[in-house]
Amino acid sequence: MKKINGLINAPFTAFHEDGSINLAPIAQYAATLRKNGVCGVFVNGSSGEGHLMTDEERKACAKAWVDASEEDFMVIVHVGTNSVKASQQLAQHALEIGADAISVMGPTFPKITRIEELVKYCEEVAQVAPSLPFYYYHIPAFTGVNLSMLELLEAVDGRINNFAGIKYTFESLYEYTQCRRYANGKFDMLHGQDETLLPSLAFGGATGCIGGTFNYAAGLYIDIREAFAEGDLEKAQELQYKSLDLIDVICRYRGNIVGGKQIMKLIGLDLGANRTPFQNLTAEEAKAMKSELDAIDFQLFANKLA
């Protein structure tokens, strides 16, 4: 299977004031991401509050992204749930609407503690859409599924034919690189931590990256990749430090899912509030966050609206 090379964005899901899903911004959202150099989206994941949506809402959101995407713009649909049957239905839907790939996080209940449990879950979901590349989404901070990803690759190799790789959102660059090197780089390892993009390039050889701050600062990461490719490590470091400054700000405002979603308003795309149980920013907090963003010259590298 062809490996991804470029930035895949993890988009937020827009909601109306009454909490219902709002699909209207997606066409402009997709155009904005393309304009700023993003090559695809990872829909209904953690940034998209996928686990807080009904299955029908997730299907509607996935279809809207596929409909808004041009041929060279990739749509990966996260179909993971605690119910393997529900995940199979979402995977079948992704296949029917023409998505480019599917992915699952590990179930959060019951707690998975053995590789075989995780492999069986992935196998049963992947098999209903055998023509679609299947990615496992490793994010143990959210799921509590903290198993060896190298052992996962060893277990799925030759067993799940459409297993494409892993969206790796974890701190271990050592394990990430082990997975990159497995079987001469057989599987696609999508780096998932924006704050360590440069180390993943230098140590892990990352090509495809999935990130949440690409929503509003994609150019910053494109520049990091280009500077590294050109051998200008000093420039790449300076740009990564700007990324860290940005992430430091959003971490003070409940992270990317809450604070980052509100940053979208600053680039001209109002996606509404987060769903319960997320605690949304107050007007005072939003104002304070903007002041902190101004202090790091956020507007100089913010995405430009299409």
Cβ(259)–Cβ(249) below 8 Å: yes
Tens digit of each residue's pLDDT (9 = 90 or more) over 7-23:
999 999 999 999 999 99
- Averages of pLDDT over each 10 residues, the chain, 306 residues: 94 97 98 98 97 98 96 96 98 98 95 96 98 98 95 98 98 96 97 96 94 98 98 98 98 97 97 97 98 98 97
CA-CA distance, 194 to 135, in Å (whole number)?
19
Alpha-helical runs (H) found in 190-260? 197-199, 214-229, 233-251, 255
Q: What is the pLDDT of residue 147?
A: 97
Running DSSP on this structure, what letter comes out for residue 5? Answer: -
Cβ(218)–Cβ(7) below 8 Å: yes
The pair of three-digit structure tokens given for residue 140, joined into one six-digit string: 């143990």
The pair of three-digit structure tokens given for residue 8, joined into one six-digit string: 């895949």
Map residue 77 onto helix, strand or coil. Answer: strand
The pair of three-digit structure tokens given for residue 212, joined into one six-digit string: 């949440």
CA-derived radius of gyration, the chain: 18
Residue 158 makes CB contacts below 8 A (sequence gap 6+) with none
Tens digit of each residue's pLDDT (9 = 90 or more) over 118-153:
999 999 999 999 999 999 999 999 999 999 999 999
- Domain boundaries defined on the chain: 6-300
Give catalytic residue positions. 137, 167
Exposed/middle/buried for residue 183 (C-beta within 10 Å: 0-12, 13-18, 19+): exposed
Q: What is the pLDDT of residue 1?
A: 79
pTM of the prediction?
0.97
Q: What is the pLDDT of residue 71?
A: 84
CATH classification number, 6-300, choose in 3.20.20.70, 3.30.420.40, 1.10.287.3240, 3.40.50.720: 3.20.20.70
Nearest to 306 by CA among 29, 68, 40: 29
Q: What is the pLDDT of residue 42?
A: 98
C-alpha distances in Å from residue 262, one per residue of 47, 69, 206, 210, 281 = 12, 24, 29, 20, 8
Tens digit of each residue's pLDDT (9 = 90 or more) over 266-297:
999 999 999 999 999 999 999 999 999 999 99
CA-CA distance, 184 to 165, in Å (whole number)?
13
The pair of three-digit structure tokens given for residue 129, joined into one six-digit string: 């859409």
